[in-house]
Amino acid sequence: MSTGKPRLRFAPSPTGYLHIGGVRTALFNWLWARKTGGTFILRIEDTDRERSTPENEAIILRDMRWLGLEWDEGPDSGGPHGPYRQMDRLPIYHEYADKLIASGAAYRCDCTKDELDAQRKALTAQDPKAQFRYPGTCRDKKLPANGDRSSVLRMRAPSSGAVTYRDLVFGEVTTPNSALQDAVLMRSDGVPLYNLGAVVDDVTMGITLVARGRDHMINTPIQILLYEALGATLPQFAHLPMMLGPDGAKLSKRHGAVAVGEYREKGIPAGGLLNYLVRFGWSHGDEEIFSVADLVQKFDWEHCGKGDGKYDPKKFAAIIFEHLKRPDLTSDEAYANGVVPFLAQRGLTDAPRAKLLAALPLVRERAQTFVEAADALDYFFRDLPVLDDKAAKKFLVADKASHLAGLRAELASAPVFEPSALEAHVVAWLAGKGLELKDVAQAARVAITGRSASPGLFEVIAVLGKDVVLARLDRAIALVAAAGA
RNA sequence: GGUCCCAUCGUCUAGUGGUUAGGACGCUGGCCUCUCACGCCGGUAACGCGGGUUCAAAUCCCGCUGGGAUCACCA
């Protein structure tokens, strides 16, 4: 605050895994903090004790790190405005609750939930369309601030007037106070509810810009009233449109993967995931593909859209593929790091780094995920390729035997083991026999890769090296001979 | 139902009074080719409706319709 630099926060609730909708919110906050040289804070809102777990918190932290959305202040790293876990901040909320009571902005209410539920039920029985609102029973009871623990804290909501604020994406938003009611701010057990916890934390942590999902927009007027009651400086607000499922319903598991962890396990690069998410509600002219560094430079609030969007798996796959194809977005080193765990899953734990880096370029434009890349890379790292039955039956046949033997001899005598030279060498030999490349290519491919589809034959041969290729051809020649016998 | 919000191809979007309404994904026709891909060229497809304002409206205003959010001692 004193530095004048923006302070932003992402405040997930550890009641479940990190959801990609949440990531989008985190990303926008993080981008703005990084672009402006501000501070990005991770705050854990764990006041829902029934559903919050330390395991979920650990998952959120792990996934945020995997995404590269590092925080400057947070529950594990600490910072000058901690603690960063709401259940560790209870005394702060109590202090602010007392301030609100003292100023008359809030009061204690000892109506029980059962009483209120009964009233609600009675009302709806009488008029099904009526909406129950707290009748203000305890408004003027002047219950002691720190007395009976069975009382909740309620805000004294104004019934007239209106709250207007300027949203960075939605513009001016006005809500009449008549729509408000005396909302509960703190439970009878002394744990704050969302509106109180968020406001007190945002005030005490010096948050200058609150960017969150549009589903929170309804809370903003209440929170603004609280800021005013506390005499605190208002932050700016930016609400982000919703990301829905392909059918327009709330994005959920039945639409596919929603947990960040699932994307990692499927071999999705983090940068690609972020690229897809940023395009949800933000644009930069016709540009679609961005590195994280691009985004830090280009992101702004002016070009955030207001309309909700639907998640599109096809578009998602296309953006991911783009990141996987382009070395400027996923460097060879990063690609290698990304694919290594999936090679390990196939038992290929000792793939030599140099060979991996040499083989990668052949696979990039053929793999939509690191999982597919590991599959495409498989035969580079086995002594002998796993032969695909159908491919072998079709192409490793008797009438190819002499071609394979001839190819073996040509490769054995090839002066340079480099793709274009190899191709020229082989094509020349074939031409002498009145043959074309396609007459031997598939048989050779199956012999060398075990499959009927692969990157360019000579590129593969060059990466594998002469000894390996000759050995594989020898095995195939032997197989053909055995089958013919 | 109350309150708030939104509305351009199927999807993500560009567009801020004058454009043949652009791009991307998808779908599709073709080219390239040792297989599979990549790539390249082309096609398909949108301003929800109705009123205004204006010489001129996808762009501004109003209404309608449609969609979403929210109305807990969840966040």
Query: What's the CA A13/C1' B40 distance, rounded, in angstroms?
Result: 49
Decide the pairing of beta strands A39-42 and A7-10.
parallel
Distance of CA A68 to the CA centre of its chain: 10
Give the per-residue pLDDT at A3. 58
Distance CA A448, CA A457 (A): 9
Pure H helices in A171-211:
194-204
Measure the CA–CA gap between A326 and A228, rounded to whole angstroms.
51
Q: Which nucleotide is nearest to A365 (CA to C1')?
A: B38
Chain A residues 384-423 with Cβ under 7 Å of strand B are 423
A159-187 pLDDT, tens digit each? 899 999 999 999 999 999 998 999 999 99
Q: Which single residue is written with the structure tokens 């790190």? A: A65
Parallel, antiparallel or unpaired: strands A39-42 and A106-109? unpaired
What is the spatial distance, in angstroms and rounded to an integer, between the CA atom of A107 and the C1' atom of B34? 81
* Active-site annotation of A, residues: 253
pLDDT per residue over A197-222, tens digit each?
999 999 999 999 999 999 999 999 99
Which nucleotide minimizes the distance between its C1' and the CA of A452? Answer: B35
Distance of alpha carbon A46 from alpha carbon A345, whole angstroms: 35
* Reported pTM: 0.95
Burial of A332 (0-12, 13-18, 19+ CB in 10 A): middle
Closest nucleotide to A152 by C1' from CA: B73
ipTM of the complex as predicted:
0.96
**pLDDT tens digits, A288-332:** 999 999 999 999 999 999 999 999 999 999 999 999 999 999 999
Residue A147's pLDDT is: 59
Could you check: is the Cβ of residue A45 within 7 Å of any atom of nucleic acid strand B?
A: yes
Residues 128-157 of A with CB under 7 A from strand B: 129, 131-133, 150, 152
Nucleotides of B under 7 A from a protein CB: 1-8, 10-15, 22-26, 34-39, 67-75
Structure token pair of residue A85 = 């876990």
Can you tell me whether residue A284 is helix, strand or coil? strand
One DSSP character per residue, A6-50 reads -EEEE---TTSSPBHHHHHHHHHHHHHHHHHT-EEEE-B----TT
Distance A236 CA to B61 C1' (A): 29
Q: How far apart are the first and last CA of chain A?
A: 85
Q: Pairing relation of β-strands A162-167 and A171-176?
A: antiparallel
Which nucleotide does the CA of A321 lie closest to, via C1'?
Answer: B38
Sign of the four-CA dihedral A310, A311, A313, A318:
positive
Q: Which residue is nearest to nucleotide B67 (CA to C1')?
A: A248
| Distance CA A365 to C1' B30 in A | 22
A67 closest CA partner among A39, A37, A35, A28: A28
pLDDT of residue A296: 98
* One-letter-per-residue 3-state SS of A51-116: CCCHHHHHHHHHHHHHHCCCCCEECCCECCCCCCEHHHCHHHHHHHHHHHHHCCCEEEECCCHHHH
Which residues 262-301 on A are within 7 A of strand B at the CB atom? 279-281, 283, 285-286, 288
Q: Are A170 and A306 in contact (CB under 8 A)?
A: yes
Q: For residue A1, what pLDDT band results from cuts at 50, 70 and 90?
A: very low
Q: How far apart are CA A29 and CA A204, in angstroms?
A: 18
Task: Provide the CA A393 to C1' B42 distance, Å, integer.
Answer: 40
The mean pLDDT of A347-368, rounded to a whole number, is 97
